[in-house]
């Protein structure tokens, strides 16, 4: 009989079982075991120790029941408390699907206390309320069991009452107390002081509190600042001022650091009023902000109070709520200019004069309003208002160029149709800085216009006058240096004209070997006439002496005569 194959083993197989771990379970340290043991002992001694102090009115329980969820829970807790030593009953209750959820979790906690097994614990993790170790028993919610077994923790104990908070009741927890105010959202004075003392940003003062970047008088009087600031007003008369810088530098979101000390945490707006103290630069002090903007601002602040908006986005969103509601004048960045102050609006923008003229050209062509966002999206508006989120000309022109570039080219440079289309598309592809692009375009067009003063086109002149005219045009456009290489490359009779050009401009030192003796001899004879031609061109093209055109015609005739080119066209 054949032997069975030998068992194959791998390194680590002997310890494989030892390494298996259940997710969410860990071995408890002595410190954790001691804390849970003390809390469970206190819970068994007084099963109502985790219940907050009830300061609000509770609904009465009658034969027909009650709509007050807290009253029902308290009634059932007393029943569970009376059975705290009956492990058989507790085991049945902690697995029961119906009934009060808090009481189901309480039964599981009391059953765990009866077992006395603390070496292995479950781990509860919550993004807002943190982590905690607890004993998981029965079908009670993990958050409820973790909160009951950590009833001394100011934040975790609030989680026991999440369903009650959803039903409209308020809970406030701090180092010195834990209360339920029922359906009354009035926060205890002690809680307000403690919550602000433990907020994620440092605050100075007592009844009037302020962050870095503000002072007591500004917050007390509600004074405007250029950057704007957030004001929180609590029911007990405490006013809190938070600068934009303070909101942007918190490790934990400010609103979270306050709101997680109450339940429900997303109803902080019920116990305090938030307002953004700011108006655009240039907005008249005696003019109210648009009602639509104030409504949008309230919505933004409520979103922040519900922890649905990051602290560092609050200032930007608040300003945008106001700026995007303005329906007249010019809005650029965080500043406002009246309809009649277009010059002030354009001067406020950073960029070159050419860029400002281009933007002014676009504005003059508008029939309605326009909104250019910082992401390059262009929105047409029914209201006669211009809104530019960027204060720099370049990104604004990048956004406007595809639609309004043709108008700019025609208005500022006289370009149209196919010629303008080529320039427009070239800029779209190159994405050159608009300051440089407009400046170079202006210089190029100026050169073209100057060259149009010359009485002949190069192609209409006989050789070598055609070559001489080309050298003159190139020198006027790009400078003398750019013509040296061109002069060297002349062939035939043009080589003689090239040599004459180098002699006129004293560029022959290292180039004589490039020209044959015949070209040098002929070219040398043409130098006086070519010198006269260049002097006239310099005056006409570069010095704007329009009368020099007569001298240019005369010099060209002289050059035609000495070179034997025949009559001029």
Instruction: Report pLDDT for 538.
Output: 87
CA distance 227 to 261: 30
Alpha-carbon distance 223 to 340, whole Å? 29
Q: Are residues 333 and 314 in the same domain?
A: no
- Domain identity same for 333 and 318: no
Q: Which two tokens stand for residue 520?
A: 């040098």
Do 431 and 522 fall within a single domain?
no
Residue 562, both tokens: 């000495």
Residues 366 and 426 in one domain: yes
Is 96 part of any domain?
yes
Domain boundary among the residues 296, 323, 350 is at 323
User: Which structural domain, as residue segments, surrounds residue 397?
Assistant: 329-447
Same domain, 433 and 481: no
Strands 177-182 and 53-54: parallel
Rounded Cα distance between 292 and 314, Å, is 18
Q: What pLDDT, in 10s, does the model give residues 267-281? A: 999 999 999 999 999
Same domain, 209 and 159: no
Q: Is residue 297 part of a domain?
A: yes
State the helix-helix crossing angle for 434-451 and 417-430, rounded to 10 degrees.
150
Q: Which two tokens stand for residue 443?
A: 């210089």
Contact call for residues 280 and 331 (beta carbons, < 8 A): yes
185 three-state secondary structure:
coil
What are the angstrom distances between the C-alpha of 104 and each of 115, 117, 120, 124, 138?
17, 20, 21, 18, 8
| 316 plus 333 within the same structural domain | no
Q: How far apart are CA 110 and CA 191, in angstroms?
A: 30
Q: Is residue 195 part of a domain?
A: no
Per-residue pLDDT tens digits of the chain, which is 569 residues long: 445 445 444 455 545 444 445 567 889 899 999 999 999 999 999 999 999 999 988 777 654 556 788 989 999 999 999 999 999 999 999 999 888 999 999 999 999 999 989 999 999 999 889 899 999 999 999 999 999 999 999 999 999 999 999 999 999 999 999 999 999 999 999 999 999 999 999 999 999 999 999 999 999 999 999 999 999 999 878 999 999 999 988 888 999 999 999 999 999 999 999 999 999 999 999 999 999 999 999 999 999 999 999 998 999 999 999 999 999 999 999 999 999 999 999 999 999 998 999 999 999 889 899 999 999 999 999 999 999 999 999 999 999 988 998 888 888 777 778 877 887 888 877 777 887 777 777 766 666 667 777 888 878 898 899 998 899 888 887 788 888 888 888 888 888 888 889 888 888 766 667 888 888 888 889 999 999 999 988 888 778 788 888 998 999 889 988 888 878 88
Omega cis (within 30) before 84: no
Cβ atoms of residues 178 and 152 within 8 Å: no
Instruction: State how far the Cα of 501 lies from the Cα of 524, in Å rounded to an integer.
Output: 9
Statement to judge: residues 210 and 97 lie in one domain: no
Residues 167, 61: one domain? yes
**Contact in structure between 158 and 147 (CB atoms under 8 Å):** yes
As beta bridge partners, residue 369 has: 381
Selection from 231, 309, 215 nearest residue 277 by Cα: 231
Contacts (Cβ under 8 Å, ≥6 apart) of 53: 177, 178, 179, 180
- CA–CA separation, 452 and 457 (whole Å): 9
Q: Provide the token pair at 131.
A: 């982590």
Residue 11 placed within a domain: no
Q: Count up the domains in the chain and report the number.
A: 4
Q: In terms of domains, do 169 and 49 share one?
A: yes
Q: Which pTM does this prediction carry? A: 0.72
Beta bridge partners of 182: 170
pLDDT digits (tens, 9 = 90+) for 348-389: 999 999 899 999 999 988 989 999 999 999 999 999 999 999
- Domain end, chosen from 399, 428, 447, is at 447
Does 189 map to a domain? no
- 28 domain residue, yes or no: yes
Closest of 75, 149, 67, 76 to residue 108, by C-alpha: 149
* 364 plus 267 within the same structural domain: no
Report d(CA 536, CA 566) in Å as an integer: 21
Whether residue 125 is contained in a domain is answered as yes
CB within 8 Å of 163: residues ≥ 6 apart: 69, 101, 102
432 within domain boundaries: yes
Q: By the 8 A CB rule, do 232 and 247 touch? A: no
Please report how many Cα atoms fall inside a 13 Å half-sphere around the Cα of residue 556, on the Cβ side: 27
Q: Give the span between the Cα atoms of 167 and 47, in whole angstroms.
A: 24
Same domain for 300 and 441: no
DSSP string over 228-245: -EEEEEETTS-EEEEEHH
Q: Can you tell me the distance from the alpha carbon of 357 to that of 478, in angstroms, rounded to the nearest whole number?
A: 27
Neighbours of 374 (CB within 10 A): 12
Q: Which of 95, 109, 108, 102 is nearest to 76 (CA)?
A: 102
How many C-alpha atoms does 348 have within 13 Å on its Cβ side? 19
Tokens matching residue 397: 């022109």
**Final residue in a domain of this structure, among 292, 323, 354:** 323
CA distance linking residue 215 with residue 195, whole number of Å: 20
């Amino acid at each position: 009989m054949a032997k069975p194959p030998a068992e194959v083993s791998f390194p680590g197989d002997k310890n494989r079982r030892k390494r298996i771990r259940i997710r969410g379970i860990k071995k408890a340290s002595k410190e954790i075991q001691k804390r849970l043991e003390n809390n469970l002992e206190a819970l068994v001694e007084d099963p109502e120790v985790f219940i907050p102090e009830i300061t609000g009115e509770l609904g009465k329980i009658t034969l027909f029941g009650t709509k007050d969820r807290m009253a029902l829970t308290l009634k059932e807790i007393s029943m569970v408390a009376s059975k705290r030593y009956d492990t058989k009953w507790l085991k049945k209750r902690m697995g029961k699907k119906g009934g009060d959820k808090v009481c189901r979790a309480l039964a599981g906690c009391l059953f765990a206390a009866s077992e006395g097994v603390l070496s292995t614990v479950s781990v509860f993790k919550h993004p807002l309320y943190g982590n905690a170790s607890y004993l998981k028993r029965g079908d009670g919610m993990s958050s409820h069991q973790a909160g009951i077994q950590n009833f001394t923790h100011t934040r975790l104990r609030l989680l026991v009452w999440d369903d009650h908070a959803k039903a409209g009741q308020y809970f406030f927890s701090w180092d010195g107390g834990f209360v339920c105010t029922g359906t009354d959202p009035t926060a205890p004075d002690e809680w307000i002081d403690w919550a602000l003392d433990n907020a994620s940003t440092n605050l100075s003062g007592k009844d009037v509190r302020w962050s870095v970047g503000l002072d007591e008088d500004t917050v007390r009087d509600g004074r405007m600042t250029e950057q704007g600031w957030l004001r929180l007003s609590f029911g007990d008369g405490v006013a809190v001022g938070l600068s934009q810088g303070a909101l942007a530098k918190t490790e934990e979101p400010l609103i979270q650091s306050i709101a997680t000390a109450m339940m429900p945490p997303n109803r902080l707006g019920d116990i305090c009023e938030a307002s953004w103290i700011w108006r655009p630069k240039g907005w008249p002090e005696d003019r109210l902000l648009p009602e639509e903007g104030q409504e949008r601002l309230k919505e933004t602040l409520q979103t922040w109070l519900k922890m649905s908006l990051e602290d560092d986005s609050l200032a930007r969103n608040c300003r945008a709520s106001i700026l995007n509601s303005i329906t007249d004048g010019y809005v650029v960045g965080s500043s406002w200019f009246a309809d009649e102050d277009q010059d002030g609006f354009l001067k406020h923008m950073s960029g070159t004069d050419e860029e400002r003229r281009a933007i002014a050209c676009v504005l003059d062509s508008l029939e309605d309003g326009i909104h250019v966002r910082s992401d390059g999206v262009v929105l047409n508006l029914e209201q006669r208002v211009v809104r530019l989120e960027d204060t720099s000309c370049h990104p604004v022109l990048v956004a406007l160029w595809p639609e309004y570039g043709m108008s700019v080219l025609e208005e500022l440079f006289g370009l149209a149709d196919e010629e303008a289309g080529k320039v427009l598309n070239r800029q779209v592809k190159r994405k050159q800085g608009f300051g440089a692009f407009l400046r170079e375009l202006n210089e190029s067009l100026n050169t073209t216009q100057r060259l149009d003063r010359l009485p002949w086109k190069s192609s209409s002149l006989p050789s070598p006058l055609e070559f001489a005219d080309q050298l003159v045009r190139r020198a006027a456009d790009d400078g003398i240096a750019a013509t040296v290489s061109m002069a060297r490359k002349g062939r035939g009779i043009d080589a003689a004209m090239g040599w004459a050009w180098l002699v006129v401009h004293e560029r022959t030192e290292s180039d004589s070997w490039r020209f044959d003796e015949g070209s040098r001899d002929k070219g040398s004879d043409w130098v006086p006439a070519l010198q006269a031609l260049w002097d006239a061109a310099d005056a006409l093209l570069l010095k704007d002496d329009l009368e020099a055109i007569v001298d240019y015609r005369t010099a060209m005739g002289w050059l035609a005569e000495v070179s034997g080119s025949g009559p001029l066209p």
